Amino acid sequence: MASRRGNAKTEKQSDKYSVLLPTYNERENLPLIVWLLVKYFGESKYDYEIIVIDDGSPDGTLQIAEQLQKIYGADRILLRPRAQKLGLGTAYIHGIKHASGNFVIIMDADLSHHPKFIAQFIEKQKEGGYDLVSGTRYRGDGGVYGWDLRRKLISRGANFITQVLLRPGASDLTGSFRLYKKDVLEKLVEQCVSKGYVFQMEMIVRARQLGYTVGEVPISFVDRVYGESKLGGNEIVSFLKGLLTLFATT
Amino acid sequence: MFLDMLFLKYKISCGFFIYNLALHRPTIFLTMTKLLEWLLGVSLIGVAWGLVTFDLLDLKFPPQYRELAWPMPVYLLVAFGCYSLATVGYRVAMFNDCEDAAKELQAQIKEAKEDLKKKGLKM
């Protein structure tokens, strides 16, 4: 009995969660997202670290990150900047190399993803032993704030086409708020070749292909950026191109 | 001619499947792309439809079968179209608007800014 309890304790102690935050011009949002992460991880008692991967932001994001590191400690906030904007896939690879956790959480740094869901991701992962847990805006309590009818229509329409063509077994494929086992993320990023929205889709499709298990947790997505950056024709076209490529190759 | 091609595709897919099964390689299903799955499915349905509509195997179906089968592809397409519109429409209407989440975030942003200022952050 005593040894079983001992094992359970060491299991919790050895689970560490590395949060990857790729940033570009997030000078305003970075302190806020870090504050929220520290608050919720502190309450949850899980072991964590935050890896900020700044791609040479001209607005001084890195300087703010350095201040945060002084406030919260270099064991909690790791800075691994890069010289220029190099893309999300390589940012993940770069982040994983420096991650000391056995789980990796990827999320957006612009406050659209709320750290309060991370505890739910972790619990869901423990519950089902999932290789990856994905936040979904389309099921259960999941939802979005700040989208007009046009945006919702495009989102649901694109998701419907994706479900019909790829039958992926996950409700939200373009979402980027996820928890991965570190080795699973490593393996998947190696294999994925797409960019943008389609990259996130490809990750889940390839995960299914390789036999990994996927869990889902409903999340709320608060879009404060949509007003400035409308979803244009170009993005829709490249999404469809990417989708058809995935359809023909996976 | 179109039917011949379809029948040929069907024969090839079946042959492929049986060949792999014979070699104990059920992995053919894992390595088949979604596109190939669709083509296979469409071919099977197409052949079944062709068989019934044009009575290719000379099974002498009663005329009702043929009358029902003949417009089936169009019926199915229209039914799928309606289903798609209804599903997407329903999902857009039921899309959750997270008002509370937005309010909570606003409040927490204020709290975070004050706390960080106290801790010495210069924004």
pLDDT digits (tens, 9 = 90+) for A17-40: 999 999 999 999 999 999 999 999
CB contact under 8 Å between A152 and B108, yes or no, is no
The CB density around residue A41, as the number of other CB atoms within 10 Å, is: 21
**Chain A residues within an 8 Å CB radius of B113:** 31-32
CB contact under 8 Å between B102 and A160, yes or no, is no
Q: What is the pLDDT of residues B55-113, one digit of tens each?
A: 777 777 778 878 888 898 999 999 999 999 999 999 999 999 999 999 999 999 999 99
What is the residue-averaged pLDDT of chain A? Answer: 90
A115 → chain B, closest CA residue: B105
Percent of chain B with pLDDT over 90: 47
ipTM above 0.95, yes or no: no
Interface of B with A (CB under 8 A): 30, 33-35, 84, 87-88, 91-92, 95-99, 101-102, 105, 108-109, 112-113, 115-116, 119-123
Q: CA B80 to CA B45: how far, in whole Å?
A: 15
Interface of A with B in 154-173 (CB under 8 A): 155-157, 159-160, 164-167
Q: CA A91 to CA A82: how far, in whole Å?
A: 9
CB contact under 8 Å between B35 and A167, yes or no, is no
Q: What is the pLDDT of residues A76-118, one digit of tens each?
A: 999 999 988 888 888 999 999 999 999 999 999 999 999 999 9
A132 pairs with which residues across the strands? A180, A214
Using CA atoms, how far residue B24 sits from A55, B10, B17, B18, in Å, is 50, 21, 11, 10
Q: Best of B42, B88, B110 to disrupt the A interface by mutation (most A CBs within 10 Å)? A: B88
CB contact under 8 Å between A71 and B119, yes or no, is yes
Percent of chain A with pLDDT over 90: 75
Q: What is the pLDDT of residues A38-86, one digit of tens each?
A: 999 999 999 999 999 999 999 999 999 999 999 999 999 999 999 888 8
| Chain centre distance of CA A8 | 28
Enter the pTM of the model: 0.83
Phi, psi dihedral angles at B97 (to 5 degrees)? -100, 115
For residue A143, give the nearest of A165, A168, A171 by alpha carbon: A171
